[in-house]
Amino acid sequence: MSDRPEVTAVEIARLAGVGRAAVSNWRRRHPDFPRPAGGTDSSPTFRLDQVEQWLRAQGKLAELPLLERTWQQLESLRDPAGPPAAPLVGAGAFLLLLHREAATWATLAAESDTRLATALPRALGGLADRVLGPAGAALLALPGLLGSTDLDLARLLAALAHQHGPVAAYEQLLTRHAEANSRQLSPTPPEAAALLAAVAGHPGSVLDPACGLGGLLLAVPPTAVRHGQDLDPVLAALALLRLALHTPADHPAPLALDLRPGDTLRADAHPGLAVDAVLCQPPYNERDWGHDELQYDSRWLGGQVPPRGESELAWVLHCLAHAGPGGLAALLLPPTVASRRSGRRIRAELLRSGALRAVIALPAGAAPPYGVPLHLWVLRRPQPGDDFRQVLLVDASGGHPAGEGGRDRINWPDLHRTVLDAWRTFDAAARSGEPLPPDRAGVHRAVAAIDLLDDETDLSPARHLPPPVLSGGLDGLSHLRNRFAELLADLGGPAAGPPGVGAAAGESAPTVTVGELVRAGALELYSSGPGGPAGNPADGASGVPVLTDQDLIAGTAPTAVLDPAETPLTTRPGDVLVSALGASVARVVQAGGPLDGVALGRQLHLLRPNPELLDPEFLAGQLRSTGVARRAASHASTTTRLDIRRAELPRLPIDRQRALGTAFQRVAAFEEALQQAAAVGRSLAQGLTDGLAAGTLAES
């Protein structure tokens, strides 16, 4: 195995801010381009140092991004026959040292490589033992001796942590790993994890029996005792390090973290453990989950073994078994679990026992697999004397349109409110005897468990909810009709209509990429942000308003806030905000507008042009164009992403840019008015359809 980092053609393109075709052209046209050092004929790899030297000599690279250099160093440490994530364990342990005991590294960094090769492993091992306990240190299995490549990686990690902080640095590396292994690794998004954690309330102890990278446990405050298990020991180690890094550095050690490897259903690593809440997104459609070996397991409710094809229900019963009396279990499950005939007996037993409390249909894109509208099941372990037998059925999938992949168009704050308002009122009624929440047509309804016990015991929420009714009846429809007519009239007027255009004369202007503009100093570029928002103002959270990608796409003001302790980058007038998910959305920050002075959230790019060289409206208009978005798109995973540095703009004088910027601004205003009219028109059409179908309206 080579001790020198190597890169593929795709990674070279990423470094230089160009398309892969440009790299192929360089290889053909430049005889001095580095020769392949490995890989295959169809996918060769090249030595990173040679590529970097060549790019600099050609003026195509001012400086190799630190994150890219660190990632390639990690890749060089990977054993082709071992787990691909293994190098991230040592990297996480080192970042944890910087997070909790930065002075230790400051002392060690001055040592020679010979001494550092043994001193750093001792420091990491001692830290793991103190912070994670003997079991946690054993799970990490850190080496006792480091090579020169490991030491080079440590220095790169130290620089990356100095630039972004140890926590953000590790999140960036884990994100790169998840993107590079998207077929094998599908972590629960932070927004979905936050929803499950909010449903659980404020538990003192939590278990995730299929923890993966620990996303669900990360959504729970570090004051809770957190337990987890995963089949892959390396993933369990990464989750442990991730949770430790997200715990405040001054939190007393050892941390209340207990993550273990193993097959959860066949070899439960926490026998007898009873917690306040179990949060889980289990693996789906498993045939070999242990059906034959677990015939007489005590976890099966009423002694009924889940059918071989119902592995998800086996996970449901496992989670319920680990909830203490009155404890909660929340699971993300495929919608077929609510209706498959083979699982009818288990569903019926959950209803009869009073354990099943809610089935909530989420919009497609809430969590992987992103094309499937998953269900959130909420269960409570019955206590003696608990005779509550009601089930809350919620259809939260309406009003949350899915974009490409289903995940970039969900209005998460609105979804959280819809689910949590209904659940908290229902749960309070179950605990204290307060009135059940009133039915909300098309959204939620409390149903007696006995009414769901039939030949199918189908728990799909949409099947049991009354159809939605347009508020306001005939008056509401009349108002919508009048409003729709007003919007159409405005769209046809000269003020709100699109600008007049004619055929362009002359040849096409030469182009320049965003990456080249950044290197030339005409533009500043900031990508992503400080991570997931700390909370929702509707839930009482406070802090700096943070713009999410969903807010930008929907054209709304920020709907989340960031922890007040953070000092994030904030927007200012003239900035251009772009979605990183290839949605062809680019908006200019206007002075005093809803986007002015907000923090930059996840999946966003912020471009700050020098207005003397680059007009913001011109820049935003170009980035919204189909051609620019298509040429700069990356399809490395199931979601299209915008490689912003590859976006090409025409090279025009500033006065011409400003003229085009004014036209782009009018087009954007026209599009916004058109979308508003379309939304009102859809509501009108749906109201008419529902009224005619229900018999409450008649043709006149």
Q: Each residue of 342-401: pLDDT tens digit?
A: 999 999 999 999 999 999 999 998 999 988 999 999 999 988 888 899 999 999 987 544
CATH superfamily of 190-210+264-464: Vaccinia Virus protein VP39 (3.40.50.150)
Question: Residue 344 has which token pair?
Answer: 């009818």
574: left (phi over 0), alpha (psi -120 to 50) or beta: left
Q: Each residue of 147-190: pLDDT tens digit?
A: 998 999 999 999 999 998 999 999 999 988 888 777 778 899 99
**Beta bridge pairs of residue 526:** 606
Nearest to 196 by CA among 412, 490, 449, 429: 412
> pLDDT-based confidence at 403, cuts 50/70/90?
very low
pLDDT at 404 (0 to 100): 38
Q: Each residue of 243-288: pLDDT tens digit?
A: 999 999 999 989 999 999 999 999 999 999 999 999 999 999 998 9
Q: In the chain, count H helices and then E strands.
A: 23, 23
Is residue 610 exposed (0-12), middle (13-18) or buried (19+ Cβ within 10 Å)?
middle
Nearest to 170 by CA among 234, 238, 236, 86: 238
Rounded Cα distance between 106 and 257, Å, is: 27
The alpha helices in 493-615, defined as continuous H runs, are 514-520, 549-554
Q: Each residue of 476-508: pLDDT tens digit?
A: 778 778 888 887 877 766 665 666 666 666 667
Q: Each residue of 552-573: pLDDT tens digit?
A: 877 777 877 775 555 677 889 9
Rounded Cα distance between 219 and 201, Å, is: 11
Domains 190-210+264-464 and 516-651 share a fold: no
The alpha helices in 508-588, defined as continuous H runs, are 514-520, 549-554
pLDDT at 603 (0 to 100): 79
Half-sphere exposure of 181 (CA within 13 A, CB side): 14
**Beta bridge pairs of residue 641:** 634
**Candidate from 2-16, 46-60, 379-393, 401-415 with smallest mean pLDDT:** 401-415
Rounded Cα distance between 308 and 311, Å, is: 7
Q: Which residue is listed with tokens 């669900």?
A: 216
406: left (phi over 0), alpha (psi -120 to 50) or beta: left
Please tell me what DSSP assigns to residue 657.
H
* Pairing relationship of beta strands 599-600 and 544-547 according to DSSP bridges: parallel
Higher per-residue confidence, 626 vs 130: 130
* Region 689-697 average pLDDT: 74
Question: Residue 204 has which token pair?
Answer: 């003192």
Rounded Cα distance between 590 and 592, Å, is: 6
In contact, 236 and 260? CB cutoff 8 Å: yes
Q: Which residues contact 555 (CB under 8 A, 6 or more apart)?
A: 587, 672, 675
Q: Give percent above pLDDT 70 in the chain.
A: 88
Asked if the peptide bond before residue 499 counts as cis, ω within 30 degrees of 0, the response is no
Is residue 106 exposed (0-12), middle (13-18) or buried (19+ Cβ within 10 Å)?
exposed
pLDDT at residue 635 tops 50:
no
Question: Residue 548 has which token pair?
Answer: 């999410």
pLDDT at 629 (0 to 100): 65
pLDDT at 433 (0 to 100): 80
Q: Give percent above pLDDT 90 in the chain.
A: 48
Rounded Cα distance between 80 and 1, Å, is: 8
Task: Note the residue count of the chain.
Answer: 700
pLDDT at 401 (0 to 100): 43
Q: From residue 279, how far is each of 103, 197, 256, 523 by CA, in Å?
A: 37, 8, 17, 44
What's the first-to-final CA gap in the chain, in angstroms? 79
* Region 405-422 average pLDDT: 81
Rounded Cα distance between 66 and 51, Å, is: 15
Q: Each residue of 492-551: pLDDT tens digit?
A: 666 656 666 666 666 677 888 888 898 888 899 887 754 544 555 545 455 678 888 778
Average pLDDT of the chain?
86
In contact, 250 and 240? CB cutoff 8 Å: no
Interior angle at CA 500, CA 498 and CA 501, nearest 5? 120
Interior angle at CA 559, CA 554 and CA 561, nearest 5? 140
Interior angle at CA 514, CA 513 and CA 515, nearest 5? 90
Q: Does domain 516-651 have CATH number 3.90.220.20?
A: yes
> pLDDT-based confidence at 407, cuts 50/70/90?
low
Q: Each residue of 295-308: pLDDT tens digit?
A: 999 999 888 899 99
pLDDT at residue 191 tops 60:
yes
Q: Which residue is listed with tokens 């790993």?
A: 177
The alpha helices in 455-573, defined as continuous H runs, are 461-464, 473-492, 514-520, 549-554
In contact, 472 and 493? CB cutoff 8 Å: no
Asked if the peptide bond before residue 254 counts as cis, ω within 30 degrees of 0, the response is yes
* Region 415-438 average pLDDT: 91
Q: Each residue of 217-235: pLDDT tens digit?
A: 999 999 999 999 999 999 9
Amino acid, res. 479: H
pTM of the model: 0.71
Residue 26 neighbours by CB distance under 10 Å: 21
| 3-class SS shares of the chain: helix, strand, coil, % to 5 | 45, 15, 40
pLDDT at residue 51 tops 90:
no
pLDDT at 668 (0 to 100): 83
Q: Where are the domains of the chain?
A: 1-52, 65-185+233-259, 190-210+264-464, 470-498+654-700, 516-651
pLDDT at 1 (0 to 100): 41
**Beta bridge pairs of residue 7:** 46
Q: Which residue is listed with tokens 């892969």?
A: 20
Rounded Cα distance between 373 and 398, Å, is: 11
Q: Could you tell me how far CA 397 lies from the centroid of its own chain?
A: 18
Rounded Cα distance between 356 and 571, Å, is: 46
Q: Each residue of 582-628: pLDDT tens digit?
A: 667 889 999 888 888 888 877 788 999 999 999 999 998 888 887 77
Rounded Cα distance between 312 and 282, Å, is: 7
In contact, 143 and 123? CB cutoff 8 Å: no
Question: Residue 524 has which token pair?
Answer: 């500043």
pLDDT at 665 (0 to 100): 85
Q: Which residue is listed with tokens 């009709």?
A: 481
**Beta bridge pairs of residue 394:** 360, 444
